[in-house]
Amino acid sequence: MSPLRSLILLLLHISLLAGADDSQIPLAQTISIRQPHRVAIIGGGAAGTSAAYHLRKFANESSVDVRIDIALFEASARIGGRTTTVDVFDDDGLPAELGASIFVKANPILCNSSLDFGLDLKGFAEKNIRSDFEWGIWDGTKFVFKQNASESRWLGYWDVIKLIWKYGTSPIKVQRLTQAMIAQFLKMYQEPVFPFKVLQEAVEQAELMPFMPLTGQELMREKGVSERFANDIIQASTRVNYAQNLAQIHGLESLVCMATDGAMAVEGGNWQIFDQMAKRADVTIHRSSLVTTVMRDQDSDKYGVQVEGDHEENPKLQPEDFDTVILAAPYQFANISFTPLLPSPPERIDYVSLHVTLFTSPHSLSPAFFGLEDQSQVPSSVFTTLPLGLSGEHHDQHKFFSVSTLRTIPPGKHSDKPQHLYKIFSSQPLKARLLAELYGFPFFYQSDESSTEAGISTIDKEYISWYHEKVWHSYPYEIPRTTFADIKLAGDSSSPKGIWYTSGIESFISTMETSALMGRNVAKLIVEGLQNG
Ligand SMILES: Cc1cc2nc3c(=O)[nH]c(=O)nc-3n(C[C@H](O)[C@H](O)[C@H](O)COP(=O)(O)OP(=O)(O)OC[C@H]3O[C@@H](n4cnc5c(N)ncnc54)[C@H](O)[C@@H]3O)c2cc1C
């Protein structure tokens, strides 16, 4: 026998002897160490899919063997949550954003993942603008600002000159303030701020807290921004982005509204980012699965997750045992019963009820509605503000927050006339009468109440050829605040086990990116907890 072969046999013999030794780890225990940590994510929007994606990513990158098994429960049939599209004319070649429509350069998770996933990004310029003005801001009596539609550099400079002439140095002050805020915000993605167990501590560390207890109006006054610029431009932005006035919304969110640099969207729909995140996280996705109950078993310290329609005959829908649950949807709307009760559930916060109406029409915005001469050009999109000096309580005095022209669909498949696709944000359902006035088509008004109350469905197809209405709990009323809902709702704060919560970040900033950031943050805390044993 060669010396090498005899050495191998000797080592094998020793290892077999060692295997017979009682002091070795029993087989059952070996298996239990290798059991993956089971995570249930409730909610397939930006937060839930980002949590799934980053759990997988951080676990794969870990130097320690971290095994995770992820199940994602989503109430609807689609992934994306408030990021979703509808098909105009039911044509899947014509998707239009019904919820979150843009993200910006200062959104690293969304920008990087769309590039990593090979999704096509588009700028946020409107297609087929038919007016000399791309957008205008209307205060109910007049346009206080109009932006030229031409791509001519001179007209671009002219817009800047107009801004400076009208508002002095205020635009520059706000731009600097916004850039400084973005730099501070980006600290929340990196050590030592990231990952964070308590949101208010992260906000403090990123030096963003001074913006939080003030309204946008107070912040702008404090920073020497003119009332006129704040009212005309910043408030138009807080109204179109959050359906809130500057006297209500907190200072930080008012600056977020001004951080529009490099606005973009995914061609075909932003939901694809979150769909890809879920797919790449190797999760078991339970679609159309509304979670009704989360129940902790005291003995095993595991959570059962029950979905609507669970019953004994269907073994697939039996409660499952999870070590960790992530609630990635606003607690107050998720309608989940927790057993035992959560020690300190998130407080109820007011959300905006936003009516979004998408529709097509061959008609253009009527100059008469805006008090303009017949042949005048109405800006392609109209944002609104209040007349200078009017209190912020009058948030819906114009009956809409914004009217956007999204694109023009050429004649052909769906109509023999060009059809313009519009999106209106309002606090109430749109009335037929308002639309008739806004677009200058006839409204056969009768003085009974049903006629005044008639909605978009009563309008002849000649005027409104297609429509889709949706009411969202779109975002919280972003009132000034310095505390936020807990990130860990149940379980030891240093343990990966227990119940985690992402939606508290919405009363700080409510965007796809910040929800995705909170999903990533929770994922990091869980993986770190598993690494530390
Ligand atoms: C009209 C509109 C315009 C917006 N515009 C923008 C924008 O331009 N840019 C931007 O960044 N943000 C925008 N936002 C805000 C943005 O959409 C949200 O901040 C973000 O998408 C929230 O993501 P989320 O994952 O936290 O919550 P959600 O997207 O609400 O996801 C939660 C998910 O949980 C599911 N769910 C809830 N309860 C249960 C349950 N019991 N069981 C199972 N599943 C459940 C829901 O079905 C949902 O899919 C807009 C929002 C709206 C409505």
- Claim to verify: residue 254 and residue 356 sit in the same structural domain: yes
- Residue 304 sits in the same domain as residue 332: yes
Q: What is the CA(507)–ligand 1 centre distance, in A? A: 13
Q: How far is CA 511 from CA 82, 189, 507, in A?
A: 10, 15, 10
Residue 444's Cβ-count burial label (10 Å; 0-12, 13-18, 19+) is exposed
Dist CA 397 CA 453 (whole Å): 17
DSSP 247-313: TTSBHHHHHHTT--TT-EEETT-THHHHHHHHHHTT-EEETT--EEEEEEETTTTEEEEEETT--TT
Q: What amino acid occupies position 193?
A: V
Shared domain for 247 and 381, answered yes or no, is yes
Is there a contact between 235 and 93 (Cβ–Cβ < 8 Å)?
no
Nearest alpha carbon to residue 309 among 325, 331, 293, 323: 293
CA atoms of 432 and 455, how far apart (whole Å)? 5
Average pLDDT over residues 194-216: 98
pLDDT value at position 402?
97
**Nearest atom, ligand 1, residue 81 CA:** 49
370, part of any domain: yes
Is the domain of 428 the same as that of 360?
yes
Q: Are residues 443 and 388 in the same domain?
A: yes
In this structure, are 276 and 214 located in the same domain?
A: no
Handedness of CA 126, 131, 135, 141 (dihedral sign): negative
Domain boundary among 458, 476, 494: 476
Residue 1 lies in a domain: no
Mean pLDDT of 487-515: 97
How far CA 109 is from CA of 147, 277, 282, 397, 519, in Å, comes to 31, 11, 19, 37, 11
How many domains does the chain fold into? Answer: 2
Tell me if 381 sits within 8 A of 403, measured CB to CB: yes
CATH number of the domain where residue 357 is located: 3.90.660
Are residues 356 and 342 part of one domain?
A: no
- Amino acid in position 228: R
How large is the average pLDDT for residues 234-239?
96
Asked, for residue 23, whether it belongs to a domain, the answer is no
Q: What is the CATH number of the domain that holds 287?
A: 3.50.50.60
Atom of ligand 1 nearest to the CA of 518: 26
Is the residue at 406 inside a domain? Answer: yes
Same domain (yes/no): 325, 428: no
pLDDT at 503 over 80: yes
295 and 153 within one domain: no
- CA 299 to chain CA centroid, Å, is 38
Question: Does ligand 1 lie within 6 Å of residue 489's CB atom?
Answer: no
Nearest-CA residue for ligand 1 atom 10 is 511
CB-ligand 1 contact for 430 (6 Å cutoff):
no
**pLDDT level of residue 144 (50, 70, 90 thresholds):** very high
The length of the chain in residues reads 533
How many angstroms separate the alpha carbon of residue 262 from the centre of ligand 1?
Answer: 22
pLDDT in tens, 315-353: 444 467 999 999 999 999 999 999 999 999 999 999 999
* 90 within domain boundaries: no
Tell me whether residue 97 is in a domain: no
pLDDT tens for each residue of 99-135:
999 999 999 999 999 999 999 999 865 455 567 888 9
pLDDT beyond 50 at 220: yes
Residues 10-28: tens digit of each pLDDT: 333 333 333 333 334 344 3
Helices (H) and strands (E) in the chain, counts: 16, 21
The Å distance, Cα 428 to ligand 1 centre, comes to 20
Q: Which amino acid type is present at position 479? A: I
Q: Are residues 407 and 519 in the same domain?
A: no
Across-strand partners of 425?
Answer: 356, 402
Domain-embedded: residue 449: yes
Atom of ligand 1 nearest to the CA of 73: 43
Shared domain check, 356 and 208: yes
For ligand 1, atom 50, name the residue with the nearest CA. 100
Give, using CA atoms, the residue closest to atom 49 of ligand 1: 81
How much is the pLDDT for 25?
39
Rounded average pLDDT over 352-376? 96
Averaged over 138-151, what is the pLDDT?
86
Distance 81 CA to ligand 1 centre (A): 4
Name the phi and psi angles at 263, rounded to 5.
-65, 135
Domain that holds residue 206: 125-261+350-476
Residue 375 sits in the same domain as residue 459: yes
Among the listed residues 99, 94, 104, 155, the one whose alpha carbon sits nearest the alpha carbon of residue 127:
94
Give 438-483 pLDDT, tens digit per residue. Answer: 999 988 765 665 677 899 999 999 999 999 999 999 999 999 999 9
Q: Report the pLDDT value the prediction gives residue 154, as an integer from 0 to 100.
A: 64
Q: How far is the CA of 194 from the centre of ligand 1 (A)?
A: 23
- DSSP secondary structure string, 375-404? TPPPPSEEEE-PPTT--TT-TTTTS-SEEE
CB 208 near ligand 1, within 6 Å = no
153 or 137, which is more confident?
137
Rounded-to-integer distance, Cα 527 and Cα 518, Å: 14
Task: Pick the closest to residue 101 from 514, 519, 478, 512 (CA basis).
Answer: 512
Which ligand 1 atom sits closest to the C-alpha of 82? 29
Decide if 375 is inside a domain: yes
Q: Would you give the DSSP letter of residue 117?
A: T
